[in-house]
Amino acid sequence: MLAVVLLLIGFLFLVKGADLFVDSCSRLARALGISTLIIGLTIVSFGTSAPEAAVSVIASLQNANAISMGNVVGSNICNLLLVLGVSGIFGNLTVKRKIVYRDMVYSLFSYVVIFIIAMGALFHETKTAMITRSHGLILLCFLGIYFYSLLVDMKHTPTKEEEKVPLKKRDIPLSLLGLAGILVGGELVVQNACAIARMIGVSESVIALTVVAIGTSLPELVTSVMAARKGEADMAIGNVIGSNIFNIFFILGISSAVSPIPFGVDTLIDIIWMMVAGLLVFLLVLKNYRIGRKKGPFLVLMYISYMIYILLR
């Protein structure tokens, strides 16, 4: 019972810490005259993925590698099926062509990259494969290419002049406080998720793919649902797609660079689920550039099916 309570407290620290970090850093960026586009692509993307980053890196440092890998793959599946599905139920998400053909295609590319790395690693090993430090550096390079493409696109897209906001000194300590909350929450989630897995006799990977993945995806869920209700479809979809790219290229990249991540055949199957979910969302959006109240429940049912598969496995 204590482990469950501490796990919930950890999730609370993660969500509140990420929220505080994003808000304070966004205000600091605006005070420095940084455009909202750059803020959205960097600070918000990092902020909503900060729980996954904290959990995966801390898990990697503590050699709880099943949680590190399962958290990223499970969170991406949760984002694609549960977050977008629930967001579609709350409001019609109309997607711009640029997001579909640039960001969604690049997210599919990120899934293919990690699939190829996993397949190559398994091909050379008989039982347990490894995502090495070299693989991690490759993933980080792909993240750099993505950010570079966004900056190039921004330079060729006319934007209106954005008004600066006054600099508030309290935003600096608030951003540090938010970051501290993320780190403390990540530590609590990793330790108590492992403890719960041992107590109920299931593997750490199952806990990572279910409880931890959903818990660390709460910022994306809250952000996307609120954006959908306010008619901000670009923010709702962009938040999910951007976070998924960040999860693969940055979080797995930095986690494996810190400590190589071992994985088995089950993880490869989860990666295939992630690829199928990504392709499904892409095809659904491609049809009429919209996820609404018909497609939303279908995505949620797909996520429930995945959860049943994980528990039966």
Q: What is the pTM of this model?
A: 0.80
Q: Distance from first CA to last CA of the chain, Å, rounded?
A: 25
Q: Is 33 left (phi over 0), alpha (psi -120 to 50) or beta?
A: left
Domain membership of residue 101 (yes or no) is: yes
CB atoms within 10 A of CB 237: 29
Task: Quickly count: other Cβ atoms within 10 Å of residue 58's Cβ.
Answer: 22
Longest distance between any two alpha carbons in the chain, whole Å: 59
**Got the DSSP string for the chain?**
-HHHHHHHHHHHHHHHHHHHHHHHHHHHHHHTT--HHHHIIIIIHHHHHHHHHHHHHHHHHTT-HHHHHHHHHHHHHIIIIIIHHHHHHHS-EE--HHIIIIIIHHHHHHHHHHHHHHHHHHHT-SS-EEE-HHHHHHHHHHHHHHHHHHHHHHHTS-----------TTHHHHHHHHHHHHHHHHHHHHHHHHHHHHHHT--HHHHIIIIIHHHHTHHHHHHHHHHHHTT-HHHHHHHHHHHHHHIIIIIIHHHHHHS-EEE-HHHHHHHHHHHHHHHHHHHHHHHHSEE-TTHHHHHHHHHHHHHHHHHH-
Is residue 143 assigned to a domain? Answer: yes
pLDDT confidence of residue 60: 78
Residue 164 lies in a domain: no
CATH number of the CATH domain containing 285: 1.20.1420.30
Domain assignment of residue 24, yes or no: yes
Per-residue model confidence (pLDDT) at position 42: 64
Per-residue pLDDT 10s for the chain (313 aa) are 788 888 888 888 877 876 777 677 667 766 766 655 556 556 666 666 777 777 788 787 777 777 778 889 998 999 999 989 988 887 777 777 777 888 889 999 999 999 999 998 888 765 668 888 999 999 999 999 988 887 787 666 655 555 556 767 787 788 788 778 877 877 787 778 778 877 877 777 788 888 788 877 777 777 677 667 766 666 667 778 888 998 999 989 998 888 888 888 888 999 999 999 999 999 988 877 778 778 889 999 999 999 999 888 7
Q: Is residue 119 in some structural domain? A: yes
**Token representation of residue 88:** 């579609």
Assigned domain for 70 exists: yes
Question: Could you give the angle at the alpha carbon of 181 between the alpha carbons of 176 and 187, nearest 5°?
Answer: 130
Residue 110: its pLDDT value, please? 95
So what's the pLDDT on residue 237?
Answer: 77
35 within domain boundaries:
yes
**Residue 4: what pLDDT?**
84
Asked if the structure places residue 163 within a domain, the reply is no
Average pLDDT of every residue of the chain:
80
State residue 107's pLDDT score: 92
Domain region containing 143: 2-158+169-312
Whether the CB-CB separation of 302 and 277 falls below 8 Å is answered with yes
- Looking at residue 134, its pLDDT comes to 92
Number of folded domains in the chain?
Answer: 1
pLDDT for 33 equals: 66
pLDDT computed for residue 26 by the predictor? 67
Kindly report the backbone phi and psi dihedral angles of residue 164, in degrees, each rounded to the nearest multiple of 5, phi listed first.
-75, 150
What's the pLDDT score for residue 287? Answer: 77
